[in-house]
Structure formats: structure tokens, C-alpha cells
Amino acid sequence: MANRREFTEEDDALLEELGVEVEVKQTKQYTNREQRIIAGFEEIQRFVEEHGRLPRHGEDHDIFERLYAVRLDRIRKQKDCRTLLTDLDPQGLLAATYDADLTVADDLDDDQLLAELGVTPDAESSIKTLRHVRSQAEKQAAEEIANRTVCEDFEDFRPLFERVQKELDAGIRETIRFRKEAGFTKTQLKAAQFLIVGGQVAHIAEVGEAFKAPNGEEDARLRVIYSNATESNILLRSLIRAMYKDETSRFVTDPNQGPLFSGDLADDDQQSGTVYVLRSLSDHPMIVENREVVHKIGVTGGKVKSRIANAENEATFLLAGVEVIATYRLANINRFKLEKLLHSFLEPAKLEININDRFGKSVTVREWFLVPIFIVEEMVQKVMDGTIKDYCYDPASASVKRRN
């Protein structure tokens, strides 16, 4: 630090000898009140930067957003605050007029403001330590979600939840994040739909008769069954509101999206890839013994011929040539999810083959299956007609069986 100080003085002296006047900038000193005003304004700026909008009033909004809205209105009202913050307002937050209908004393601190907003912090708390204060609307939605009872007939629903979980694991279904930017009043839920809310998979078992809510939106009473064997008779809008407030809420997609394959592609179809079935020409003892029933099944976005061109040098092809047994074109589908689905269906027949790669390193190859070709053809057919979710492969009998 001493060297830095001496160097600075030498620089100043040199500048003076060159006839350059050195201006010493004075750091502006703020009063305690001004520091509090600046700190509070910076919190509002961070909110605007994060959310892309001004904070809003109203019980439907987070308590901190409501606090920032009131604070911004107070700052706009007071001339000394505007003067203090003018050079610190690149976002132009001071330009708009304040809410003339809101009457809040100018000298209230944040804890007093919270009280004005209907929130009384604990004696040991302050605005800096409050983290989970909820609006009345949030509380109402949370109370309805929490107001659950034991589902007496859950055994009737248990197979549905088990099936959904299996389909999620197999890639037949997927979860989609709740789109908050669309607004919860635009969200539509329906009977038989599956959701994830409050950390539980939820199934809308029944939708009651529709009626008009006080805000004019259409509402209905629902019977919702949860994966923990509870249920609730929650309002449609309350469930949507709960999803809106839950950062982890998601929709579970419907598996019945139509055929995945097409024998003939229409002119406007976008070809997404090809399912291929290969048979190895390797002299590996296990392959030689079971060559007619050992197959590699995959999906490629390019030409199958190009995919297998270098098979003799790739461990995944057992460092040997391959024979193409069958191919199936597909359109308008995510080929990566499809491959996961096919491999999951054939999981009971998956092989783990240990070989040395061309560098002499031992590797385990896992994309080969001990399965007859007629099973592969039946599997593909059930993918095509959308019924694969109802079946599984039984290697003991070498047959496709309907799930219980």
C-alpha cells in the first residue's frame, strides 16, 4: 500500500510540472436518511431488472413487490427524494406519476409499511429477515391445497399413478414447466389431467359444474387425487393459482399424441430419422452362439449406411461389420426420446458385452438386445399405433404381454 501511495504522489507532481492541473474529486457524503433512501431505491431497481416491469400494488402480488410499489410511490411524491436520486435512475423509474389513490404517510419505515399492508412482523424480525410472507391470495390457495383428506378409494387410482410414473420413466410422457408468462387466468385444466404441484403428482378425477367467480372468470369445483393417497375438493382457479406460485409445478403430457411412424411421409411431413435393427458379424463367442437373436436397435437422423460405415472400428458395433435387418422411417418426432422408449421397452433383454476396443482398453457395450426380430417388429407396430404403453416384453416367454 505504501508503494502505491508514493507512486501516486510522484504522478501528481509530474502532472503539475507539465502544467496539468490536478483535480481532486471529493467523495459525496450522504446523511443516514439519504443512504436509506438510496438503498431502498436500489432494491426497487433490482426488482425491475429481474422482472422487467415496475412493482405493483394488490393482494395478488408478493408482499415485497407491494412494499416496493408503495416505496416507489413515496419517492416520486417527495421532491427531495427525486432530487437525490435523479442521477441514480438510468431506468427512468422516477418519471412516472405516483398512485394518487394511495395515501401513505411519508415518514413510515419499512416495518410500519408492512403493517399498513396488513402484515405484522415478529418483534425480532424486520424487512431484511422476512422471506416467506404471502399475500392473501397465496394463503387462500395454499390453505385449499393443504386442506386435504384421506382418499378412501385410492386403490382405484393407484394403478393410474403407477402407470404414469412408468410412462415418465420410459419417455412416453414428459413434464412441461408451467408457463407463468401466459398468466394463470389463461390456463386451462381438464378432467383426467395429471399435474405436479406441491411436490406431489396430482390427478384431476372430476370437474364440477362451471360457475362465474367474483372476478368474472369461469371457475369450478374439482376433485383432485394426489399420489400420497389424499384428495381435495379445490376450486379450479385456486389450483391454477397454486401452480402459478409453485416454482416446481409442471404439467404431465398426454401419451396419446397419435402414431409415431408413418409408412409413407406426406409432402408436408418433416422426416426426423430412421429406426434401424442390426445384426452383428462379430466372432465374439456370445454373438456366434446367438447371432439370430442378438440385435442392436437405434435411431439415427442421417442415413443408416453412413451410421454403420465405420462399424469395424467402433466398440459400439463390437469392432465388426453389421447386417441391416430392418429400418423404419419416422416423422415429426424426437428421435432421442424414441430411442430411450425403445431401449426401455427392451430393458429386460439388454445385454452387457465386454470387449477390448481398438486401443486395447476394456469397454462394456450395452446397446445390444437378446430379442427375436419378430418381437422388434411387434414393438415397432405398437409404437406406431400408440399402444406400447399398455405392453411390456417378457424375455422368459419371448413375448409381448399386456401390463396388469
Q: In the chain, what percentage of residues exceed pLDDT 70?
A: 71
| 306 shares its domain with 392 | yes
| 234 shares its domain with 293 | no
Does 135 score more than 60 pLDDT? no
In the listed set 68, 101, 131, which residue is the last one of a domain according to the structure?
131
| 189 shares its domain with 122 | no
Count helices and strands (H / E) in the chain.
12, 16
Using the Cα atoms of residue 334, residue 327, residue 255 and residue 154 in order, give the sign of their dihedral. negative
| 103 shares its domain with 161 | no
Number of domains in the chain: 3
Mean pLDDT over each residue of the chain, to the nearest integer: 75
pLDDT of 332 reads 63
Residue 13 belongs to some domain of the structure: no
pLDDT of 224 reads 93
Task: Outline where DSSP puts E strands in 50-193.
Answer: 149-150, 175-177
Residue 15 belongs to some domain of the structure: no
- Residues recorded for the chain: 404
In sequence order, what are the beta bridge partners of 218?
Answer: 212
Residues of the domain holding 300: 271-402
Residue 325 belongs to some domain of the structure: yes
The closest alpha carbon to 260, from 389, 165, 400, belongs to 389
**Per-residue pLDDT tens digits for 33-43:** 888 888 888 88
**Per-residue pLDDT tens digits for 188-203:** 778 888 988 888 899 9
pLDDT of 132 reads 44
pLDDT of 126 reads 43
In the listed set 110, 131, 152, which residue is the last one of a domain according to the structure?
131
Residue 14 belongs to some domain of the structure: no
| 293 shares its domain with 358 | yes
Terminal alpha carbon distance of the chain? 77
Look at the block and give the residue holding cell 469397454: 363
Instruction: Quote the CA–CA distance of 179 and 242 in Å, as a whole number.
Output: 13
Contact between 198 and 172 under an 8 Å Cβ cutoff? The reply is no
| 67 shares its domain with 190 | no
| 99 shares its domain with 46 | yes
| 116 shares its domain with 161 | no
Residue with the bigger pLDDT between 386 and 222: it is 222
**Per-residue pLDDT tens digits for 10-53:** 555 665 665 555 555 455 677 878 888 888 888 888 888 877 88
Residue 19 belongs to some domain of the structure: no
Q: How many CA atoms lie within 13 A of 236 on its CB side?
A: 22
- Ordered alpha helix ranges (H), 171-266: 236-245
| 280 shares its domain with 396 | yes
Contact between 168 and 252 under an 8 Å Cβ cutoff? The reply is yes
DSSP type of residue 361: -
Residue 25 belongs to some domain of the structure: no
In the listed set 88, 110, 131, which residue is the last one of a domain according to the structure?
131
| 100 shares its domain with 163 | no
Residue 103 belongs to some domain of the structure: yes
| 245 shares its domain with 346 | no
**Cβ-Cβ contacts under 8 Å for 110 (sequence gap 6 or more):** 40, 67, 71, 126, 127
Mean pLDDT of 142-157: 75
Least confident stretch, 78-82, 98-102, 250-254, 258-262: 98-102
| 121 shares its domain with 163 | no
Contact between 212 and 132 under an 8 Å Cβ cutoff? The reply is no
Residue 18 belongs to some domain of the structure: no
